[in-house]
Amino acid sequence: MNYKEIIQKLPYTKPFLFVDELLHIDENGAEGSYTFDANSDFYKGHFKDNPVTPGVILTECCAQIGVVALGIYLLNNEEVTMGENVQIGLSSSEMEFLVPVFPNEKVVVSSEKEYFRFHKLKCKIKMHNSEGKLVCKGTISGMLKSNKNG
């Protein structure tokens, strides 16, 4: 399965897809990037006259690249027949935010798998901006399974 196929299997579409490209993925983690479009609706009110990307959106970007894309890759490697959609559920997240992300800023998310068992995936996540500064870090866990495997 190539990187574009993994992105196509993500259960999101614009405007809620926060993955532009996958840079690397293997059984131990994933890395990908996203550029936050200045025309996104959430910038209109967050914050007045000084838009920044909300932490919940940063967390979602981290989850899509670092957990869901990795989970699709891992499910495929388990030779599970992948349907068009993957059922997912975020089970926990603990994130620390260090610097803001502004409109039109590109970020790179990397994850390191802590474990994947019984379809629960837990990863350490880091997001860096284009200057290489650490934007946020933490852990995110989720449950993933193919619609075809019951």
Which active-site residues does the annotation give? 46
Task: Read off the amino acid at residue 67.
Answer: V
Residue 21 contacts residue 32 (beta carbons within 8 Å): yes
CA distance 39 to 9: 25
Cis-peptide, bond into residue 15, ω within 30° of zero: yes
Cβ atoms of 125 and 137 closer than 8 Å? yes
- For 105, counting Cβ atoms within 10 Å of its Cβ (0-12 exposed, 13-18 middle, 19+ buried), the class is middle
